[in-house]
Amino acid sequence: MGELSEKVQIQNKGLKNRHFINIKAFNIKAFNFFGSLSYFSEIGISTTNIILTLDTSIEFLKSIGPGRAKLIKNVLNIATVEDFLNFYPIRYLDKSKVYAIKDLTEDLPEVQLKGTIVDLKELGTGRGKRLSAKFQDETGLMDLVWFKYSKWLKEQLPVNREVYIFGKVTLFNRQFSMAHPEIEVEEVKEKATRLQPIYPGSEKLAKRGLNQKFFQNVLRTICVQIPGLINENIPESIRKTLNLISRQESFLNIHFPADQKHFEKADRRLKFEEAFFFQLSYALKKQHHHTYAVGNPFTIVGDYFSGFYENHLPFDLTNAQKRVIKEIRTDMRRPIQMNRLLQGDVGSGKTMVALLAMLIAMDNGFQSVMMAPTEILAQQHYNSLKELLVESGIEISLLTGSTKNVERKIIHESLLSGELPILVGTHAVLEDIVRFKNLGLAIIDEQHRFGVAQRARLWAKNRIPPHVLVMTATPIPRTLAMSFYSDLDVSVIDEMPVGRKPIITAHRREKDRLTVFRFALEEIEKGRQVYFVYPLIEESETLDYKNLMENFVHVAEFFEGKNVAMLHGRMKPNDKEEAMQYFASGKAEIMVATTVIEVGVNVPNASVMIIESAERFGLSQLHQLRGRVGRGADQSYCILMTSDKLTKESRTRIKTMTETNDGFKISEVDMQLRGPGDILGTQQSGVVDFKKLDLVTDGKIIKASKEIVEVILQKDPFLALPDHQSLKNYYLTHYRGKTKWGKIS
């Protein structure tokens, strides 16, 4: 067995990082565990007395014990050997390269230099006291400094000897300097043939001696046993096709890569594995759903649908709308519950698709419910559906938090008796008291504002669960859709109604205000309407309110003689509705609002959207706001007002907005700026907590994994073939039951 050298650690008490000086060289005998690979001799192995399994508690590792095990569990949530193997380095130090002082630049990560320490002295007094030295190589001179140090360190420093120093350099007074360098004496230097892993530690752990050296040693101890610990879980044929290294190799090389290339291979394999099992688990779930989820078959296309389609359709459907309706019809015809997502950019006409689906439900004797996340939206849906249905004489009701008791009671009763075929509402429709005679279709608008649990309550409102159609106007990036929605069937409306002119978007600053206002006035004179949207700026609602009021007065002054409506979050539902009506009916030419109008509001005559302090909004929010105009036949405009000073990120956002109207493109940029978790919103962000996979950069891997999963399940839906046993076993032990959705997705 390899024998760990005595390593003397010079511990500078109170220092954040500890620094080491190798007094004696490693003396490691070659290990032949791993065929011809001598990994362990290279990485320096400590011995362990017990044979590890993946489930072995870390307290049994030689260097840990119960006390430290508890601490590690608390801080890092690592309890077993397997957890530790999955504890990946955040970066690696490259000690194979030696820099010369003349080649240093300030942006280098930690670097290694070879030379001598000279001129050691103590400087300053009291708190400013420090230890200083010069370091020289053949190419130049630099400073070393210790702000905290013990007398012992000072005496032990190998002055005037050939040493390697290692650390981050900074430029100070035009001279490079390194604080608290790690020092190794030339003759005893550990030959660095591998990259040194750096783990995501913490100060709390480091204070208890659980520093990088500790983690490295623990991982060495574990990695030595990898041949007995790690089984392959991806069939060889797939590994060959995709050129993936083995699982054993990938763990060794993720912790102790020989070089960048080895790291990349390991990284790619582990990413693929993560993507693959994620896709597999959702594909299996979907397969299960398609096989077993009982639903009401809507076999009839009858008078409600046909009558409306032939006589009352106010416009020709776009091809995309037609295609999507066909997909939905096909789904609902089967005795299996539909579980479908309808993606379509703002203004693409999802409401009509929803209505047609509800008419099919009616033709089959079933009721429908449509749920929106806010009162305003529910009201809007109700208004537009009611208008569409007026000539067909079909009943429809609205149920929200502010529905009066009398009316509420009538709704409850007519739902239960089956008289009321269509209900629109907010989450008020979820309440237990809302019961249907036979709910056949549940439509949920603006999907990610609702949590899974809420959706599950809709599911439970019928003995045989209703078909579910989730509609979202927030386009999400392809990779995100492939992972987040992988258990849903997805329909996409990727075409706008004809005659829509793309919205013209411009960026303007405070100095242009007068021009902007005049432009708005011209549009109003032409009979159009204008939105002014303000961000919430202050922490306090009162201040926000004051802010909005001031702006309101401002706008009212400039646009004297015009009617201005105001809408903000603190208003009572009735007042909001009144303000909305005031604007929607055309009585008010101008709407001054906070972001309450963000989603779904539909006033086709409004053609100018002026967003104030646009730099304070996120991309998807800007896109949503812009979607409030361009809903009619007129040329529409979106003007993004910003201050003069913009951060790099806000400049990117504004630029993206002025360059494209394509919601999917915008969502890609948004994900690059904010990361996938924030795109989905807080409720679902946990769903995309991948260990290695990065939805922003790993699109190719995700796509490949999805395709491979499809091929496998097509050939072997129950994973019964011998070749698939290892992956099946891994899936069963690691993934089943861990997926985060309930029955509904």
The residues that touch ligand ADP, with contacts defined as CB under 6 A, are: 315-318, 321, 344, 346-352, 473, 497, 602, 604, 631
Q: 286 vs 500, which CB is nearer to ligand ADP?
A: 500
Q: Which residue's CB is nearer to ligand ADP, number 78 or number 377?
A: 377
As a whole number of Å, the end-to-end CA separation of the chain is 53
Evaluate whether 690 touches 677 at the Cβ level (below 8 Å).
no
Do 428 and 411 contact (CB within 8 A), yes or no?
A: no
CA distance readout (Å), 1 to 18, 29, 40, 48: 28, 7, 10, 9
Distances (CA, A) of 106 to 180, 203, 474: 17, 26, 42
Helix or strand run (H / E) with residue 608? strand 606-611
Q: Which does 321 bind (CB under 5 to 8 A by kind): ligand ADP, Mg ion, none?
A: ligand ADP
CB 564 to ligand ADP: min, Å: 24
On whether the CB atoms of residues 186 and 25 are closer than 8 A, the answer is no
What residue type is 699 in one-letter code? G
Q: Which option in Mg ion, ligand ADP, none does residue 631 bind, with CB closer than 5 to 8 A by kind?
A: ligand ADP
- Taking CB atoms, the residue at the shortest distance from ligand ADP is 349
| CA 66/CA 59 separation, integer angstroms | 5
Nearer to ligand ADP (CB atom), residue 249 or residue 445: 445
Quick one: 137 or 445, whose CB is closer to Mg ion? 445
> Half-sphere exposure of residue 150, counting CA atoms within 13 Å on the CB side?
12
Q: Which does 483 bind (CB under 5 to 8 A by kind): Mg ion, ligand ADP, none?
A: none
Smaller CB separation from ligand ADP, 337 or 343: 343
Which residues are 116's β-sheet partners?
136, 162
- Determine, following the binding rule CB under 5 A, whether residue 349 of this chain makes contact with Mg ion: no
Q: Smallest distance from the beta carbon of 600 to Mg ion, in angstroms?
A: 5
Binding partner selected for residue 349 from Mg ion, ligand ADP, none, CB under the kind-specific 5 to 8 Å limit = ligand ADP
Binding partner of residue 2 among ligand ADP, Mg ion, none, CB under 5 to 8 Å per kind? none
Closest approach of ligand ADP to the CB of residue 316, in Å = 6
Q: Which does 295 bind (CB under 5 to 8 A by kind): Mg ion, ligand ADP, none?
A: none
The closest residue (CB) to Mg ion is 600
424 within 8 A of 385, measured Cβ to Cβ:
yes
- Alpha-carbon span 329 to 534, nearest angstrom: 42
From residue 566 to residue 605, what is the string marking binding to Mg ion with x (rule CB under 5 A)? ----------------------------------x-----
Q: How far apart are the C-alpha atoms of 603 and 580, rounded to whole Å?
A: 9
Residue 22 or 595: the one with the smaller Cβ distance to Mg ion is 595
Distance (Å, rounded) from C-alpha 79 to C-alpha 75?
Answer: 11
Binding mask 599-638 for Mg ion (x = CB under 5 A): -x--------------------------------------
Interacting residues of 262 by C-beta distance below 8 A, sequence separation 6+: 253
- The torsion angle over the Cα atoms of residues 609, 612, 613 and 618, rounded to 10 degrees, is -30
Q: How far is the CB of 99 from ligand ADP (least distance, A)?
A: 57
* CB nearer ligand ADP, residue 295 or residue 497: 497
Among Mg ion, ligand ADP, none, residue 317 binds (CB under 5-8 Å by kind):
ligand ADP
Task: Detail the DSSP E strand segments found in 498-600.
Answer: 504-509, 529-533, 564-567, 590-593
Q: Which is nearer to Mg ion, 93 or 424 (CB)?
A: 424
Q: Which does 346 bind (CB under 5 to 8 A by kind): ligand ADP, Mg ion, none?
A: ligand ADP
Biggest alpha carbon–alpha carbon distance for the chain = 97
Task: Please give the residue ranges that form the binding site for Mg ion (CB under 5 A).
Answer: 600
